[in-house]
Chain A
Amino acid sequence: MTAEILFERVNKTFARPDGGAPYEAIHDLSFAVGRGELVAVLGKTGCGKSTTFNLISGLIRPSHGRVLVQGHDPYVDFAWFRGKIGIVFQNDRLMPWRTAIDNVALGLELNRLPKPARLDIAASWLKRLGLGGHEHDYPHALSGGMRQRVSIARAFAGKPDILLCDEPFSALDEHTGQALRQEFRDLLRQTGATSIFITHSIDEALWLGERLLVFARPARIAYETALRPDMSAAERDAIRDRIRGVLAGEGAGVDR
């Protein structure tokens, strides 16, 4: 399988504002994600999941090692990735001065798609996510769940090759999150994009992913397993128990 996303012995440290010892967010992290694969990344708060995410999206560069996405360095070849990466964030990150349809069309606009075409695409995504009739509403007029749907539509509208999802349902109530999770999984399967899904929830990771990576602190892979849709309940329980053990023993230096 061709590696769509490749981490080779990546380290990332951040300087502290008070001049103290640098903080190591990622330590010697290596992994590969194949084209079209859906990988769930699980780990405790502060284990470097979001730093990994920012490295893939090219918002920051590694201190050591190499990150390649589709064979390119996402930080150095920044503009090359225009239209290729879609991101769903933990919070909706909608622009308050743009209507729902204009928020969805943002990536298409920056990708120079003509206005009628991008508005058509944006409207169809809003409709698909159950927001027909809300196209011209501003974010403040939408509920949290509706705003997150707009955010999901914005990520999918540009038909990205790679989709990065950073705990997209964690800010939603259980009922809204569950309904959206189902739709989201269907969309991921339909688009065929290479996807990395960061989450705190073991059940969410087991339910969404095709492969699962558990990060220990600082970000390194403590446990990795493939997930099959036809796994029995007993198999899932075994994996769940193993993940709990890994997360609980993380401080003791559990290794892959």
Chain B
Amino acid sequence: MALTGGGSGARPGGRTFTFTRFRYETVVALAGLAVIWQIASLFVPHFLFPSIPEIAARLLDIFTSWKSIVDTLATSARILAGLGGAFVLGTILAMPMARSAAFERYVYPLLNFNQGIPALSWVVIAIIWFRGIEFRIFFIMVMTTLPAFTFQVLDAYRAMSKDLFEMTLAFRPSRLDLFRVLVWPTVLPGILTAWKVNLGNASRVVVVAELVGATGGVGYELLQQQQVFDMAGAIAWTLVLVIFVLIVQGVITLIENRALRYRAVAEHTL
């Protein structure tokens, strides 16, 4: 599988090389970690460092059990729904902030204030405020990732070239056309970066949210493993979440390579 976009007419070069190097280094790094873990498992008590084959067996159990797959999908859906909600709300906030300094002066401090609130506080607040488990998790996800999405979309919008804006306006586009031909392509790189950054944050927050409120999902399963002191199970469920994040990041990278193929790539890097 190649992660390169390379559409017709593109002359990027270098992307395939980057991915090949990434894949090689990733395999070496992960294999090294597994070897160190396996060696440690030979000298450390089993309940602290279970062996790699044992963890692999537990991982296989998860992927062959219908209930475990449902738990995994539930967590994945919660992450994506939370990120989607925060993205939509962040964009709705960012656009008027970019256009109105007065609006920005009111909203910016609120977002900064929000950034100082720990995820665990939002968990407590959500449990007190809301009854539905799914809505609680959605609320927590949105509140914890909203500032980052808003700031990133705002920055991307502000980075729009005044020259290109004037050039496009000279053709008298409708508002929708202006958004389609200029605003969207301008903010897209920032949006993709925001998704990649927030994906990692969201995967951490969702586990916390599920730990305290959910009756299913990766966080709930991790709590079960902790209660029976099953380290192999805990690591296997953690790996499930990591695999999900890597898959989604891969998809975002594919979209990025396709959508941003117009960017020049230098033969030398810093």
Contact = CB atoms under 8 A, between A and B. Distances in A.
Nearest to A134: B9
Interface of B: 8-11, 163-164, 166-174, 177, 181-182, 185, 260, 262-264
A138 B182 contact: no
B168 to A, nearest CB: 8
A91 B163 contact: yes
Contacts of B9: 99, 135-138
Interface in A42-93: 54, 57, 59, 78-79, 81-83, 85, 87, 89, 91, 93
B163 A110 contact: no
DSSP majority for the A interface? loop
A140 interface: yes
Contacts of B177: 110
Contacts of A97: 185, 260, 262
Given A106-B168, A136-B8, 15 more contacts: A57-B170, A59-B166, A81-B172, A89-B163, A91-B163, A96-B263, A97-B262, A98-B262, A106-B181, A110-B181, A135-B9, A138-B264, A139-B262, A141-B11, A141-B264
A109 interface: yes
B180 to A, nearest CB: 10
A59 B167 CA distance: 10
Given A95-B182, A140-B263, A141-B11, A59 B163 contact: no
Contact of B262 (A54, A59, A109, A140): A140
Which of A78, A89, A109, A110 has the most chain B CB atoms closer than 10 A to its own CB? A110
A107 B262 contact: no
Interface residues of A, number: 31
Which of B9, B168, B181 has the most chain A CB atoms closer than 10 A to its own CB? B9
A97 B264 CA distance: 10
Contacts of A111: 171
A124 to B, nearest CB: 18
Given A96-B262, A140-B264, A110 B172 contact: yes
Given A106-B181, A138-B10, A95 B164 contact: yes
B260 to A, nearest CB: 8
Given A81-B172, A89-B167, A95 B264 contact: no
Contact of A137 (B11, B168, B181, B260): B11
Contacts of A54: 166
Which of A87, A97, A109 has the most chain B CB atoms closer than 10 A to its own CB? A97
Contacts of B168: 106
Nearest to A141: B11
B112 to A, nearest CB: 25
A240 to B, nearest CB: 32
A85 B170 contact: yes
Contacts of A138: 9-11, 262, 264
